[in-house]
A and B are shown apart, each in its own frame.
Chain A
């Protein structure tokens, strides 16, 4: 009979974690380039549930555990900002940036320049082009980013375009293997990268978070109700125990 308590607890723990995942999605509803996470559950059979005193001794107890969080890699809505250094990727590729600890990837294209004219992320990490960091000259103006990522400018009084670099877009055979590091960055981990061929850069746009708020709210209600339902179940279990003990211990006078 104690098993029901444990199974209920295992479910409650996974629900609590699912709630944490939902909370993180909702908190990041306005984070540029954020990709929502969803929880996956699996049955977990306990092989040590054998209790010789019970009749059904060979039945295994089935618990639940969270197997993983999978990322919804779908695109977020594009917001027009008109800023020449804001870029959004159409397609499944990522921008490559040089962060503390090596090369990292992001979908957050809210870029700016640093004091030396290099293209950087909001955190100041260098955005990588096909030939390393992209640097602008002090006299550059009319920055134009082509769909393939080539950045051209007019320099000083020149009437013809000068090329400042080409945004490096990277795609992954299995983007689920990318690890979220926070700060809108991903680490490649065991995922293998390849040059993105089908993705394009949109200048003057920023990709918003792909969190579907209606979905998150309904999932949240679902999680909350299941959690309370299990709490009720545990309460009933406990009441059963209580009344059993009371009845058995009731010695007639």
Chain B
């Protein structure tokens, strides 16, 4: 009976749905996290009677057909790249982006990764690095006797050096955009890599041409809305249960047939 297999595809889809939702909820407090939603499509149909076919010798045309669908498949888990809310931390090197773009990070192997998580620190050489110790691009070094670190909305980093009353610019943070940012590949650690689907990275200046504005002393929170995740979770669980009910009903129907003529 087809219904058994159809309901099984439904159960598998809802299982994946719950997996995606639970990952969103687990990352409720992850800086710069972007939530995902599972996206489903119906499977191919068996056209038992094709709509528009000739129905009789008199030439009447079937107004409706008999189409039996084969269930559901997962087409993707697209990432929602909407802005997360900013929360103030007061740390000079906590940077938040509001708007388009990512911070560019140089990995030890020479490749680049991109992140919305602006929890930066200084390493022992005075370089601005991520929590994993990888330098933010373009690399900048803060002199160890400097004070009054300031990052402008455009990403200009300036400090006050001892014996000087004016601030000195020590570097310029870059922001990178992708035409299809939802096509980036997550690699963990809040970071993403470029893929053929994301398009080539375009480096630019913050707070110009649609690139996001940098806010110093703030971090971007995850864009997960816990209320909608909970309601999605309930919906997924009920859908899972219903598919299980279909399986047991189809099973009972088959049982009543096999019990015949004993």
Residues of chain A at the chain B interface (Cβ within 8 Å): 12, 15-17, 19-24, 26-32, 34, 37, 39-40, 66-70, 81-83, 108, 110, 112-117, 122-123, 136, 138-142, 154, 156-157, 174, 176-177, 179-184, 189-190, 213, 216-217, 220-221, 223-224, 227-228, 231-232, 234-235, 238
What are the residues of chain B within 8 A of A182 when measuring CB–CB?
Answer: 41-45, 69-70
User: In the bound complex, do residue B17 and residue A30 qualify as a contact, i.e. CB atoms below 8 Å apart?
Assistant: yes
1/0 contact string of B36-65 vs chain A (CB within 8 Å):
011111111101111110000000011111
* Majority secondary structure of chain A interface residues (helix, strand, loop or mixed): mixed
Q: Sorted from nearest, which 3 A-B pairs have the closest CB atoms?
A: A141-B210, A27-B10, A68-B64
User: In the bound complex, do residue B69 and residue A180 qualify as a contact, i.e. CB atoms below 8 Å apart?
Assistant: yes
User: In the bound complex, do residue B99 and residue A30 qualify as a contact, i.e. CB atoms below 8 Å apart?
Assistant: no
Residues of chain B at the chain A interface (Cβ within 8 Å): 1-4, 6-7, 9-10, 13-14, 17, 37-45, 47-52, 61-72, 75-76, 78, 80-82, 99-100, 177, 179-180, 182-183, 196-199, 202, 208-210, 235-236, 238-239, 242-243, 245-246, 249-250, 252-253, 256-257, 259-261
User: In the bound complex, do residue A224 and residue B249 qualify as a contact, i.e. CB atoms below 8 Å apart?
Assistant: yes
Pick the contact of A141 from B80, B99, B238 — CB < 8 Å? B99
Q: A108-B41, A114-B180 are in contact. Are A68 and B78 (CB under 8 A)?
A: no
9 other A-B residue contacts (CB within 8 Å) besides A27-B7, A183-B41, A235-B260? A16-B3, A26-B243, A31-B42, A82-B80, A114-B183, A115-B197, A116-B199, A138-B179, A189-B52
User: In the bound complex, do residue B66 and residue A17 qualify as a contact, i.e. CB atoms below 8 Å apart?
Assistant: yes
What are the residues of chain B within 8 A of A15 when measuring CB–CB?
Answer: 253
A209 vs B202: C-alpha distance when bound (angstroms): 38
What are the residues of chain B within 8 A of A217 when measuring CB–CB?
Answer: 242, 245
User: In the bound complex, do residue B199 and residue A176 qualify as a contact, i.e. CB atoms below 8 Å apart?
Assistant: no
User: In the bound complex, do residue A181 and residue B80 qualify as a contact, i.e. CB atoms below 8 Å apart?
Assistant: no
User: In the bound complex, do residue B209 and residue A238 qualify as a contact, i.e. CB atoms below 8 Å apart?
Assistant: no
User: In the bound complex, do residue B69 and residue A37 qualify as a contact, i.e. CB atoms below 8 Å apart?
Assistant: yes
Show 19 A/B contacts (Cβ-Cβ < 8 Å), sorted by A. A16-B253, A19-B250, A23-B250, A26-B239, A27-B13, A30-B13, A37-B67, A67-B49, A68-B49, A68-B51, A68-B65, A116-B199, A117-B180, A122-B75, A123-B41, A139-B210, A179-B47, A182-B42, A235-B261
Pick the contact of B239 from A23, A29, A123 — CB < 8 Å? A29
Q: A114-B180, A116-B199 are in contact. Are A180 and B42 (CB under 8 A)?
A: yes
A66 vs B65: C-alpha distance when bound (angstroms): 9
What are the residues of chain B within 8 A of A227 when measuring CB–CB?
Answer: 253, 256
What are the residues of chain B within 8 A of A189 when measuring CB–CB?
Answer: 51-52
What are the residues of chain A within 8 A of B209 when measuring CB–CB?
Answer: 139, 141, 156-157
What are the residues of chain B within 8 A of A179 when measuring CB–CB?
Answer: 45, 47, 50-51, 65, 67
What are the residues of chain A within 8 A of B199 when measuring CB–CB?
Answer: 115-117, 138
Pick the contact of A22 from B3, B198, B239, B257 — CB < 8 Å? B3
